[in-house]
């Protein structure tokens, strides 16, 4: 038995013993996803147990070093762990912007002290982060941001506002891009970290077309941030910001794979019925779903190859932009088909039978996939410039 096979056997046994049956059920509601943080209320005992079990093994962040709360697994071991979790449909024990975005940035740019402090908190699900990048005047052209931090010796006084800040009202801390040098566009931004309970921080939820309100306007009114709370170098936050975006894009691209939905055609053949040949009884929709399934199976292979290469430093550094573009466009197509397959039932907005309009709300939410974390058009610009090396891009 190879080392990897031995590891697989060990993981399998551990999961069998530690993953509660309730945590092997598909995600049904939003609070089935555990985000952690100071304000988190566990949905049930199983969710808590599962998180604690994973925390004790370092499995919330399996490929982070042990000193920072991870399990120190290699890329191949991490892949095995994911495969084994998928095999039993185990839910993710903890999802958070800390894991997907800030963590990787701290691993790359943080001081040893910051790593030990923040990464362990993130790994244990004790802190929930939000992302303060976009501003009303600075979306795709992020580097034009205006939120300003005035130097007061041992601290900054931050004024300005952010917008589209996902979960700002639920988050404990924010990682925030703040201009600290007005004369220097790219090298005048500092990547700050501060508590959302700091004096002068307010949030105002914004309602999405889905009828839900996961993001906010965020205002900073003379917020004091100690000058120890920044990542990377002073005025060089843009480097950190871009690196983090690579990870954010990689994370968002994961939606393209479709989670539990193995084959959309197989799913809807059950509800729409079959003809005498056993085929989904709507030939044009069947054809569209089959063509979509091909793209999804293909994208899963792409996801595997991308992760294998990304985790071992073989991927083009800009390739997460391609993954995000392809994955989000695919997910939007998926939800168009889900709506078509659902017919008029999928139009119901709040009936209990439709779990409060889960399908139309989900469909509308996916439209943000190709906007959040950088739009599809921006992804294509980046691919053209950094990968294809096209002129003037």
Partner 1 sequence: MPLYHNDDQAMLKDSVAPFVAEQAPVAHLRKLRDQADATGFSRDLWAQFVEMGLPGMLVPEEHGGLGMGHIEAGIVLEEIGRNLTPSPFLSTSVGAVAALAKAGGTQAARWLPAIAGGEAIVALAIDEGAKHRPDRIATTATRAGNGFRLDGKKSFVLHGHVADMSIVAARTDGGITLFAVPKDAKGLTADPRRLVDSSLASHVTLDGVEVDADAVIGEVDAGGDVLDALLAATRTGAAAEMVGVGQGAMDMTVTYLKERKQFGKLIGEFQALQHRAAHLYGEMEVARATVMKAQELLDQGSDGARLMVSVAKAKAGRAANLAVREGVQMHGGIGMTDEYDIGLYMKRDRALAEFMGDVHYHIDQVARMNGY
Which residues are at the interface with partner 1 (CB under 8 A)? 75-76, 79, 262-263, 265-266, 268-269, 274, 278-280, 286-287, 289-291, 293-295, 297-299, 301-302, 304-306, 308-309, 312, 314, 319, 322, 325-326, 377, 379-381, 383-384, 387-393
DSSP assigned state of 59: T
Cβ-based nearer residue to ligand FAD, 209 or 266: 209
Distance CA 350, CA 238 (A): 43
Among 7, 118, 164, 292, binds ligand FAD (CB under 6 A): 164
E-only strand ranges, the chain:
129-132, 148-151, 155-166, 173-179, 189-195, 201-206, 215-226, 230-231
Among 75, 143, 318, 371, binds ligand FAD (CB under 6 A): 371
- Per partner kind, with CB cut-offs from 5 to 8 A, the member of ligand FAD, partner 1, none near residue 338 is none
Cβ-based nearer residue to partner 1, 47 or 328: 328
Site string for ligand FAD, 289-328 (x = CB under 6 A): ----------------------------------------
Helices 45-57 and 3-18: crossing angle, nearest 10°? 150
Distance CA 108, CA 131 (A): 18
Cβ-based nearer residue to ligand FAD, 23 or 171: 171
Cα separations in angstroms, 309 against 82, 155, 319: 16, 41, 10
Ranked by CB distance to ligand FAD, the top (closest) residue is 139
Binding positions for ligand FAD, 250-269, rule CB under 6 A: none
Q: In whole angstroms, how close is the CB of 164 to ligand FAD at the nearest point? A: 3
Adjacent-strand bridge partners of 60: none
DSSP string, 206-228: E--TTS---EEEEEEEEEEEETT
- Per partner kind, with CB cut-offs from 5 to 8 A, the member of ligand FAD, partner 1, none near residue 215 is ligand FAD
Angle at 295 between CA 290 and CA 297, to 5 degrees: 90
Q: In whole angstroms, how close is the CB of 201 to ligand FAD at the nearest point? A: 15
- What are the structure tokens assigned to 213, written together? 């309100």
Q: Are 295 and 330 in contact (CB under 8 A)?
A: yes
Residue 345 binds ligand FAD, judged by CB under 6 A: no
Q: In whole angstroms, how close is the CB of 1 to partner 1 at the nearest point? A: 16
Cα separations in angstroms, 74 against 61, 111, 292, 342: 12, 23, 33, 42
- Per partner kind, with CB cut-offs from 5 to 8 A, the member of ligand FAD, partner 1, none near residue 294 is partner 1
Q: Are 147 and 177 in contact (CB under 8 A)?
A: yes
Residue 166 binds ligand FAD, judged by CB under 6 A: yes
Cβ-based nearer residue to ligand FAD, 140 or 351: 140
Q: In whole angstroms, how close is the CB of 263 to partner 1 at the nearest point? A: 4
Cα separations in angstroms, 354 against 26, 197, 212: 16, 37, 16
Distance CA 153, CA 156 (A): 7
Q: In whole angstroms, how close is the CB of 390 to partner 1 at the nearest point? A: 4
Angle at 140 between CA 164 and CA 239, to 5 degrees: 95
Among 133, 173, 306, 325, binds ligand FAD (CB under 6 A): 133
The pairing of beta strand 230-231 with beta strand 215-226: unpaired
Cβ-based nearer residue to ligand FAD, 239 or 372: 372
Cβ-based nearer residue to ligand FAD, 46 or 143: 143
Cβ-based nearer residue to ligand FAD, 172 or 372: 372
Binding positions for ligand FAD, 182-221, rule CB under 6 A: 215
Q: Are 286 and 280 in contact (CB under 8 A)?
A: yes
Adjacent-strand bridge partners of 205: 216
Cβ-based nearer residue to ligand FAD, 11 or 379: 379
Q: In whole angstroms, how close is the CB of 88 to partner 1 at the nearest point? A: 18
Cβ-based nearer residue to ligand FAD, 208 or 285: 208
Half-sphere exposure of 295 (CA within 13 A, CB side): 17
The candidate with the shortest Cα–Cα distance to 184, out of 109, 242, 238, is 238
Q: In whole angstroms, how close is the CB of 284 to ligand FAD at the nearest point? A: 30
Residues interacting with ligand FAD, by CB under 6 A?
131-134, 139-140, 164-166, 215, 368, 371-375, 377-378, 381
């Amino acid at each position: 038995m190879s080392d990897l096979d031995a590891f697989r056997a060990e993981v399998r046994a551990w999961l069998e013993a530690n993953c509660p049956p309730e945590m092997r059920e598909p995600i049904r509601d939003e609070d089935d996803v555990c985000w952690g943080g100071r304000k988190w209320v566990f949905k049930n005992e199983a969710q808590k147990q599962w998180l604690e079990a994973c925390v004790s093994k370092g499995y919330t962040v399996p490929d982070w070093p042990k000193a920072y709360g991870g399990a120190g697994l290699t890329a191949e071991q991490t892949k095995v762990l994911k495969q084994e979790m998928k095999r039993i449909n185990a839910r993710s024990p903890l999802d958070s912007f800390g894991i997907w975005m800030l963590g990787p940035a701290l691993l790359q740019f943080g001081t040893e002290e910051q790593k030990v402090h923040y990464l362990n908190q993130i790994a244990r699900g004790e802190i929930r982060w939000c992302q303060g990048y976009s501003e009303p005047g600075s979306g795709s052209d992020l580097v034009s941001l205006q939120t300003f931090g005035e130097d007061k010796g041992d601290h900054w006084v931050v004024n300005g506002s952010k917008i589209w800040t996902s979960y700002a009202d639920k988050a404990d801390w924010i990682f925030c891009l703040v201009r600290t040098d007005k004369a220097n566009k790219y090298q005048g931004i500092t990547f700050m970290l501060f508590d959302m309970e700091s004096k002068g921080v307010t949030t105002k939820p914004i309602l999405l077309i889905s009828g839900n309100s996961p993001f906010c306007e965020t205002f900073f009114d003379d917020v004091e941030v100690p000058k120890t709370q920044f990542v990377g170098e002073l005025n060089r936050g843009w480097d950190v910001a871009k690196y983090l975006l690579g990870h954010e894009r990689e994370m968002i691209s994961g939606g393209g794979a479709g989670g539990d939905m193995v084959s959309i055609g197989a799913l809807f053949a059950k509800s729409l019925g079959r003809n005498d040949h056993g085929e989904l009884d709507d030939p044009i929709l069947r054809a569209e779903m089959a063509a979509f399934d091909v793209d999804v199976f293909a994208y899963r292979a792409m996801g595997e190859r991308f992760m294998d290469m990304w985790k071992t430093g073989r991927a083009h550094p800009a390739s997460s932009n391609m993954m995000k573009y392809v994955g989000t466009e695919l997910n939007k197509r998926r939800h168009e088909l889900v709506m078509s397959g659902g017919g008029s039932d999928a139009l119901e907005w709040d009936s209990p039978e439709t779990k409060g309009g889960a399908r139309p709300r989900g469909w509308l939410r996916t439209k943000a996939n190709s906007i959040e974390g950088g739009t599809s058009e921006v992804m294509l610009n980046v691919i053209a410039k950094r990968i294809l090396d096209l002129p003037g891009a």
